[in-house]
Chain A
């Protein structure tokens, strides 16, 4: 997994609340056995019309959105289906961090495991970000802050272990495998 320390980018803003993973990655693309190249299906039904032509009004299709790697989303982003294809598609498209006031539990967990940084900010910071699409931000995972263009910094919560894994590119499976002696002891004790 890629190491994350700082992410500096302009923002893409998708203000709607409760954007579910069926919107992020529509179900009909789920019959794949790969996790590569899924960015083409990202927000497919919002990005393209029934004939597959880009909808010019959708934020991802606007010229100023090119190269943005921070997505500012409305509250409760990523609810619904547990499909990990949602963070896979966002990362493949080039998004490296999602900022909101709340992010659904399973999406949050899936994002962290793939090096997509979920950033929960306070209501005031969120309102400012929603009102200023394209703002140049710097997310600092060591300091656990988001720096706004005017120099203000907002802190965000990040669970210690997840932060450690993201900062050092540590793979959680490796950690779990290092716990195998304790797992075996637990199985013996519980006759499992």
Chain B
């Protein structure tokens, strides 16, 4: 039997109709995650055509993108300030109720960012195909799933048929050898990978991250890496399930239990790529060469070591980025002033991210004139963080502690940065205007963001770590 990659195993197990020269494959989708911003038009299309939601039991909805993180608007009786967002939320509430889809609603203790709650609840399971109308669906690949973002028309296809028409993508192995240096996190690794591959380097491909350094990552860290696969243009990112995965999954509310767990585990253990399976392309890097990273431009590929200097390029997108960011080639980023620090998003809002930021902040204050916003990825993360007293570390330092949601990563929920301001952000995109019209985003890890909050300047976090 031919040696197969994990991607091929999952793909084949979900082929309802294999692809041919004339038509793409019909691919079965195990889990469809839905949120308020990219679903309304799909539900409307189904209603107009009189088509019901075929498998509401395989569909889970939450409110995150346009949902306010302000406690008063969620729990204090204050109306949702953005009327268009409130209408979108109400529309998903109606659509979910009418279709029998489970919705983690505004005040639900399990609500949160779609890519945080899926794994947290044990909905995300190895070997699955998972889609969502959101490009960061690649996050779920950390569990050995094939998970990718889709558009709203495809959301409609999955609601109607539980399937998608897909051409088989190519495979790219990213091998990460060695061990991480002190003060370096999964976020730094993935920024370094994107800087190496380029923002279109993964186009048409599914990445499998592998190697010693990847095996050593926790599930939270693996999610951070897979999350940003799309920022290299990749269709999806994945990591083989192992004991770290199984330990994380065991006992989660929606994970299999008892005899079902044993059956599932046996199947999951067959998922990793066979030894010697061929990838269409392979690249390698050494974790020990990766320093704390930060972005300087207007896409995630424009990233450098936090103590490095902005390189010289002559292409139009680079020059436009320099103008937008008000930086110049040869500039050193370390020492530049910062206005806002945002800790949150589906990339870095899990408990371990909050712990890392809090460890650096403990006993310190947010610099005068800097606004710091800490937004947990889910209400469960919030509760767990509060049980450890992390919220007191943040608020004691002068940061704002919020309800869960996408917040300032996408800026359509009331949390935005003003034009011209510099935001050190643990999110995934530094595109022009991403965090507010004219706002300037610098992507970094939670500790690098926390270090910037303390000094009010871009800072190598290792200078503040004991």
Is B151's CB under 8 angstroms from A50's CB?
Answer: no
Is A105's CB under 8 angstroms from B204's CB?
Answer: yes
Q: Chain A: how many interface residues by the 8 Å CB criterion? A: 52
Within 8 Å by CB of A81, from B40, B135, B301, B437, lies B135
Is A79's CB under 8 angstroms from B28's CB?
Answer: no
Residue of B whose beta carbon sits closest to that of A26: B433
Stretch from A59-67, A138-146, A169-177 that touches the partner: A169-177
Is A106's CB under 8 angstroms from B135's CB?
Answer: yes
Is A45's CB under 8 angstroms from B437's CB?
Answer: yes
Let me know if B116 is at the binding interface, CB within 8 A: no
Within 8 Å by CB of A105, from B91, B165, B203, B315, lies B203
Within 8 Å by CB of B203, from A76, A81, A110, lies A76
Within 8 Å by CB of A31, from B84, B200, B204, B320, lies B84
Is B41's CB under 8 angstroms from A35's CB?
Answer: yes
Is B40's CB under 8 angstroms from A17's CB?
Answer: no
User: What separation, in Å, do the CA atoms of A2 and B91 have in the docked complex?
Assistant: 28
A contact residues around B437 at 8 Å (CB): 26, 28, 45, 50
Let me know if A136 is at the binding interface, CB within 8 A: no
Let me know if A131 is at the binding interface, CB within 8 A: no
Chain A 1-42 residues near chain B, CB threshold 8 A: 15-18, 20, 22-23, 26-28, 30-35
B contact residues around A172 at 8 Å (CB): 153, 157, 165
Is B22's CB under 8 angstroms from A177's CB?
Answer: no
B contact residues around A15 at 8 Å (CB): 316
User: What separation, in Å, do the CA atoms of A110 and B150 have in the docked complex?
Assistant: 8
Let me know if B367 is at the binding interface, CB within 8 A: no
Which one of A33, A187, A190 has the greatest number of beta carbons of chain B within 10 Å? A33
B contact residues around A23 at 8 Å (CB): 431-433
Stretch from A89-97, A147-155, A178-186 that touches the partner: A178-186
Is A16's CB under 8 angstroms from B82's CB?
Answer: no
Is A113's CB under 8 angstroms from B316's CB?
Answer: no
Is B28's CB under 8 angstroms from A31's CB?
Answer: no
Q: Known: A18-B317, A76-B233, A161-B23. Contact between A175 and B165, CB under 8 A?
A: yes
Min distance, Cβ A168 to any Cβ of chain B, angstroms:
13
Let me know if B240 is at the binding interface, CB within 8 A: no
Min distance, Cβ A9 to any Cβ of chain B, angstroms:
24
Number of A-B contacts (CB under 8 A): 176
Let me know if B312 is at the binding interface, CB within 8 A: no
Report, as a range, how many residues of chain B touch the other chain.
35 or more
Is B16's CB under 8 angstroms from A182's CB?
Answer: yes
Let me know if B333 is at the binding interface, CB within 8 A: no
Is A109's CB under 8 angstroms from B154's CB?
Answer: yes
Min distance, Cβ A68 to any Cβ of chain B, angstroms:
20
A contact residues around B231 at 8 Å (CB): 80
Min distance, Cβ B22 to any Cβ of chain A, angstroms:
5
B contact residues around A192 at 8 Å (CB): 28, 30, 58
Is B165's CB under 8 angstroms from A22's CB?
Answer: no
Let me know if B281 is at the binding interface, CB within 8 A: no
User: What separation, in Å, do the CA atoms of A161 and B23 have in the docked complex?
Assistant: 5
Let me know if B24 is at the binding interface, CB within 8 A: yes
Is A113's CB under 8 angstroms from B151's CB?
Answer: yes
Min distance, Cβ A118 to any Cβ of chain B, angstroms:
13
Query: Can you list, as one digit per residue, whether each of B154-178 has a CB less than 8 Å from chain A (1) or not (0)?
Result: 1011001111110101000000000
Residue positions of A touching B, CB distance < 8 A: 15-18, 20, 22-23, 26-28, 30-35, 45, 50, 74-76, 79-84, 102, 104-106, 109-110, 113-114, 159-161, 164, 172-173, 175-177, 179-180, 182-183, 186-187, 190, 192
Task: Show 6 A/B contacts (Cβ-Cβ < 8 Å), sorted by A.
Answer: A22-B433, A79-B233, A80-B431, A173-B49, A190-B28, A192-B28
Residue positions of B touching A, CB distance < 8 A: 13, 16-17, 21-24, 26, 28, 30, 37-38, 40-41, 44, 49, 51, 58, 65-66, 82, 84-85, 87-88, 91, 133-135, 149-154, 156-157, 160-165, 167, 169, 199-200, 203-204, 230-231, 233, 235, 299, 301, 315-317, 320, 410-412, 419, 429, 431-434, 437-438
List 3 tightest A-B contacts by C-beta distance, closest first. Answer: A31-B84, A110-B151, A33-B40
